[in-house]
Amino acid sequence: MTHLWVRAESRPNEDRTGITPDGVARLIADGMTVTVEDSPHRIIPTDAYARAGAAIAPEGSWPEAPAGAIVFGLKELPEDGTPLRHRHIMFGHSYKDQPAGRVLLDRFRAGGGMLWDLEYLTDEDGRRLAAFGYWAGYAGAAVSLLAWTAQQGCGICGPVAAWPDQDALLADLRARMDATGRPRPRAIVIGAKGRVGRGAADLMAATGVPVTAWDMAETAHGGPFPEVLMHEIFVNAILARPGAPVFVPASAVAPGRALTVIGDVACDPDSDFSPIKVYDRATSWHAPVLRVAEAPPLDVMAIDNLPSLLPRESSVDYAGQLLPVLRALADPQAGPWGRAAALYRDHAGRAAV
């Protein structure tokens, strides 16, 4: 019998979940055993999972879970270097030569466990079956606009916190933008036809910001892209991959540009394939932007857990997409699980050489 162990998230400011109580009830009805760790931060209360039939375990107890249990979480595990003996479902961020990713793969090899990376649960055509992308784009565009409003007062974006819901976010953002007394900035979104880009464009439209929406057709020539520098805000919604064009070269820090805010929602500064060459590290909720130039300012927003700024909407949306895939865990050697396992074995073997 499949045993899914839903761990509490240990990362600060991470209130999301990948499964709702309704999803737990469905898995139990399918014959699965489900354990959910208690969490004071999860957007959905623990007692709702108990009412759905889940067994409740103490927060952070997953290392003592039965050997056959599948540990399911979203973001990083505690970086304590311990070997990992279980099969894990999570966003590993470990297949693009990221330094932390190599350490994670080493831990799996040391413990005999395995990673099913949520980013690589795909259908036969390679399309992701579940993603937080829409809400990442939505929240990333929101923080980018917060950075712009701060600049209008000659400041820099201060700490951010989760909004109660989408309506609260929009009301807050519109009020801040109106208070600047300035016309709405111009924004360009690259990757506008994907989930991330649609979310970013929708947020801009909802706040009255005119958007230039680009996708593959507009970037196929490979660059350079001076048009990006002609907008006040650029939102990157394209993942770093081999052959990706450079949208913002290192030279873009020079004066003579309208661009003052970059929202790198894809947020992969450690990758050699990053299309944004003016920064080298992620930002955080405490310090949402990195100022990389002055006169005029250029701030880069690169928060890597943006959907957590709207934890309720993003959790419900993602959990609904993922539930059919979780139900297929009854046969973990087939379909998306088999493909994700093969990908893990390939990268773990390569990293060991």
pLDDT along the chain (353 residues), means of 10: 96 94 98 98 97 98 98 94 97 82 92 96 95 97 98 97 96 98 98 97 98 96 97 94 92 97 93 93 97 97 95 97 97 95 90 52
- Catalytic residue (choose from 3, 75, 193, 277): 75
Q: Report the C-alpha gap between 233 and 72 in whole angstroms.
A: 36
- Catalytic residue (choose from 86, 93, 231, 347): 93
- Domain positions in the chain: 3-119+311-349, 133-309
Residue 93 a catalytic site member: yes
pLDDT in tens, 174-202: 999 999 999 999 999 999 999 999 999 99
* Amino acid 353: pLDDT: 46
- DSSP string covering 252-307, please? GGSSS-S--EEEESS--TTSTT-SB-S--S-B-SSS-EEEEETTTTEEEE-BTTGG
Q: Listing from the earlier edge strand, what are the strands of the sheet with 55-57? A: 55-57, 33-37, 3-6, 70-72, 87-90, 114-117
Strands 261-264 and 233-236: parallel
The domain made up of 3-119+311-349 has a fold known as: Rossmann fold (3.40.50)
Residue 75 a catalytic site member: yes
**Which residue positions form the known binding site?**
127, 194-195, 215, 219, 265, 303-306
106-to-83, 119, 123, 216, 323 alpha-carbon distances in Å: 8, 19, 28, 36, 29
Half-sphere exposure of 160 (CA within 13 A, CB side): 32
**What token pair was written down for 312?**
């309720």
**What token pair was written down for 311?**
């934890």
Query: Within the chain, how many helices (H) and strands (E) appear?
Result: 9, 12
Q: Report the C-alpha gap between 260 and 310 in whole angstroms.
A: 25
Query: Which residue reads 């390939």 in tokens?
Result: 346
Strands (E) located in the chain = 3-6, 33-37, 55-57, 70-72, 87-90, 114-117, 187-190, 211-214, 233-236, 261-264, 289-293, 298-301
The answer to whether the CB of 3 falls within 8 A of the CB of 68 is: yes
* Amino acid 271: pLDDT: 84
Q: Report the C-alpha gap between 337 and 120 in whole angstroms.
A: 9
Strands 3-6 and 70-72: parallel
Domains 3-119+311-349 and 133-309 share a fold: yes
* Amino acid 156: pLDDT: 98
Domain 133-309 is found in CATH 3.40.50.720:
yes
**Which residue positions form the known binding site for NAD(+)?**
127, 194-195, 215, 219, 265, 303-306
* Amino acid 351: pLDDT: 55
pLDDT in tens, 209-237: 999 999 999 999 999 999 999 999 999 99
Q: Report the C-alpha gap between 348 and 152 in whole angstroms.
A: 48
Nearest to 91 by CA among 239, 216, 212: 239
